[in-house]
A = this chain, B = another copy of it.
Amino acid sequence: MITLHDLAGADPDLRFSPYCWRTKFALAHKGLPTDSQPWRFTDTDKIAFSGQARVPVIQDGNTVVSDSWAIAVYLDQTYPDTPILGGPLGQAHARFINAWADSVLLPGIATLIVRDLLDVVAEKDRDYFRTSRETRFGRTLEEVQAGREDRVAAFRASLTPLRVALQGRPWLGGAQPSYADHIVAGTLMWPRCTSKFPAIAADGPIAEWFGRVLDLYGGFGRSAKTV
C-alpha cells in the first residue's frame, strides 16, 4: 500500500491539486493500491519527513518521493509493467509535455479560476493561499480572475498543440494512455474539481479526449468530487 499525501479543500473529499492528480492517474494506471491522505497547504509539518513542503509526496515502504515528475519516474522504474514513460526517450519527450503543462496550461488556468480556489481551500489555508498567490501575481485574486469571460478564448487557443497532437490518435500516449495523458488531464482536473467556469470548450477534440481520460481506471477521474 502506497501512502499519498494529497491536497484537500475544506471538504476533505475535494482533492484538486493538478500535480497530485498527475500522480493519482499514474498510480491508478499501474493499479497500485493507495492510501490517499488529505493534506492542507499549511500542514507542512505533516510532510517534513520528505525534506520539502509541497505535495504530492508518496511513501512506498521506506521510500519517500516528492515532486510529481520524480514520482512518475520512480513508479515507472519500480513498477515497470504498464509503462507510463516508456524508456529514456519516452521519458525525455514526456518532459517537454510536462514543461508545456507547467508553463502554458497551468498558468493559463490559474488566471481563470484562482479566486474560485479561495472558496474551496480549508479555512486554515485561506490566508496563506491569498497572500502567497497575490505575491506571485502582484495583484489581488479578484483582479487576476476578472474578465475571464473575455480571456477564455485566448486560453483555449493556447491549447492548439494539444488539439494537433490528438489528431488521428485517441491518447497523447498513442494507442494507449501514458503519463503524457496524466500530465495534461491531471492539470485539467484542477478547474474541473474547483470551479463551475468552463476552462475548456464543452465539445471538440480536447473535450472528447478528456472525457475518455475521465472514464479510465473505472471512472476514477469522473467520480471525483467537484464543487
Contact = CB atoms under 8 A, between A and B. Distances in A.
Interface of A: 83-100, 102-104, 160-162, 164-165, 169, 171-176, 178, 180
A33 B178 CA distance: 35
Given A104-B160, A160-B104, A173-B92, A165 B87 contact: no
Contacts of A100: 96, 100, 161, 165
A63 to B, nearest CB: 22
Given A160-B103, A160-B104, A165 B85 contact: no
Contacts of A93: 86, 89-90, 93-94, 96-97, 172-173, 178, 180
Contact of A89 (B90, B96, B103, B162): B90
Nearest to A93: B93
A130 B100 CA distance: 33
A175 B83 CA distance: 20
A90 B160 CA distance: 21
Given A87-B87, A92-B169, A93-B178, 14 more contacts: A85-B89, A86-B88, A86-B93, A87-B90, A88-B90, A88-B175, A89-B93, A89-B174, A89-B178, A92-B174, A95-B165, A96-B96, A96-B100, A99-B162
A173 B89 contact: yes
B169 A95 contact: yes
A103 B178 contact: no
Given A86-B89, A89-B86, A96-B97, A103 B169 contact: no
A89 B80 CA distance: 13
Contact of A92 (B96, B99, B172): B172
A99 B89 CA distance: 17
Contact of A96 (B85, B102, B172): B172
12 contacts: A88-B176, A89-B90, A89-B173, A89-B178, A92-B174, A93-B94, A93-B97, A93-B178, A95-B165, A95-B174, A96-B162, A100-B161
